Amino acid sequence: MKLRFPMAVIIFLSAYSPLAIIFAIQDFDFEAYSWEHPYLVSWIFAASLISCIIVWASVKLLKTSSPPVKVIQVSNRSGELINYSIPYMISFFVMDLGDINMLVSFAFFMCIMFWMTLKTHNIFINPVLAMLGYNLYDVRYELNKKEYENFFLIKGERLSSGEQCRIIEISEQLYLVADRNPEV
């Protein structure tokens, strides 16, 4: 199952929602106590907030009935969050929301970032999910006496070798751990 394109866009937008706050602060005129581009700031805030709510609700509403899997080995992938820092660094180099050339260039750059994260399956290395307590791990596990290796999105502590859990497929090679050490 591949991640649907609209949901991938929403997840990507949620990952950069803190960037919306940075842009709003940069656009705020502290002498006039107002934003220089209030409509653009409002749209950016709305898109960020809505995307975060949808991601949070989607993760909360997922249900499972799969048989438990047995964890063999776990490797952390959350360290790759540093890849998300590049657009944040760009925002500190004179980002003027009124400069159409700057906005179009930044939008083009973000489209390239989206495409790369989608194609490399790094779409879920997301600082907002990390703030909600989710981490991404590379997990080797056993299901029905066969070994597999995929990415698991896990809330809370890291899984241990020998631990059992129920998983939900979110996209190709990506699963959400829905239940740890379930009663069989």
- pLDDT in the model for residue 83: 60
- Residue 119: is its pLDDT beyond 90? no
Distance CA(180)–CA(24), nearest Å, equals 40
* Range in 8-17, 62-71, 95-104 with the lowest mean pLDDT: 62-71
pTM above 0.75, yes or no: no
- Residue 51: is its pLDDT beyond 80? yes
pLDDT digits (tens, 9 = 90+) for 72-113: 998 876 555 556 666 667 666 667 788 888 889 888 988 988
- pLDDT in the model for residue 66: 74
Distance CA(139)–CA(150), nearest Å, equals 6
Residue 68 near residue 182, CB atoms below 8 Å? yes
- The closest alpha carbon to 93, from 108, 79, 105, 81, belongs to 105
Cα–Cα separations (whole angstroms), residue 5 to 12, 61, 116? 10, 19, 14
Residue 136 near residue 78, CB atoms below 8 Å? yes
- In the chain, pLDDT over 70 holds for what percent of residues? 83
Q: How confident is the model at residue 151 (pLDDT cuts 50, 70, 90)?
A: confident
C-alpha dihedral (127, 132, 137, 139), degrees to nearest 10? -150
Distance CA(26)–CA(121), nearest Å, equals 32
